[in-house]
Amino acid sequence: MTYARQRIKIRKVYADRGFFSGECIQVFYSFGLKFLMPASHFTNVKAMLKIMPAPRVINDFPIASTVYNLIIITGKDGKKLSFATNENYDENDLGFPQRLLALYGKRWGIETSYRVKKGLRPLTTSKNYLIRLFYFLFSCLLYNLWIIADILISISIVGRKKEKHIITAWFFGNFFLDSDYG
């Protein structure tokens, strides 16, 4: 975190449920960071999901040797969802569950682009760091080329950038592998 904060400004951390622990929450607090993440279903969180109606904000909910705000909302599928945060939300504000889901949903763009990059990455079994770094950077370059090509083709065909990709990452990656084109 220290290294990252020297290079970029971090306003809020959107973490996945793998970071839901007292130690991680204490790190976020120690750096003065706002955070939002799904609250894993530990026994005490499961109990709250069963007995509390949604939407509900439970301030200073304990985990290990720290506390967080437990947010219980209903998802789009009707299931109850739980989130951990250190921000304050008003459960009487009718729009806050949708805003919370929209905020957390922003991180999926990052997850999706990372998965796409992995699909464009050459495979290796090498343990050589430089080779692995080169392959990662090469996949980033391919990803950026794919996005640029998709935008340019979208503009030339439709006249604007479409929300949905015209060229899939799979097609773009295979275009370079096919000997008829390369």
What are 2-19's pLDDT values in tens digits?
888 888 888 899 988 888
- Give 31-44 pLDDT, tens digit per residue: 999 999 999 878 89
Q: How far is CA 164 from its chain centroid? A: 19
b/e burial code for range 65-92 (CB count within 10 A of at least 16 → b):
ebbbbbbbbeeeeeebbbbbbbeebebe
**Domain locations along the chain:** 2-105, 109-177
Please state, as a whole number, how many other Cβ atoms lie within 10 Å of the Cβ of residue 144.
Answer: 11
pLDDT at 43: 87
For residue 119, what pLDDT band results from cuts at 50, 70 and 90?
A: low
- Give 45-69 pLDDT, tens digit per residue: 999 999 999 999 999 999 988 999 9
Q: At residue 181, does pLDDT exceed 80?
A: no
For residue 171, what pLDDT band results from cuts at 50, 70 and 90?
A: confident
Q: Which amino acid is at 157?
A: I
Q: At residue 114, does pLDDT exceed 50?
A: yes
Q: At residue 182, does pLDDT exceed 50?
A: no
d(CA 86, CA 57): 11
Q: Which residue has the higher pLDDT, 58 or 171?
A: 58
pLDDT at 175: 72
pLDDT at 135: 80
d(CA 67, CA 54): 20
Contacts from 86-94 at CB under 8 Å and sequence distance 24+?
86/25, 86/28, 86/29, 86/34, 86/35, 87/34, 87/36, 88/57, 88/59, 89/57, 90/57, 91/55, 91/56, 91/57
Average pLDDT over residues 150-164: 84
Is residue 15 within a helix (H) or strand (E), and if so which, with residue range?
none
Please name the residue that has the structure tokens 């947010």. Answer: 71
- Give 70-112 pLDDT, tens digit per residue: 999 998 888 999 999 999 988 888 888 998 888 888 776 655 5
Handedness of CA 58, 70, 103, 76 (dihedral sign): negative
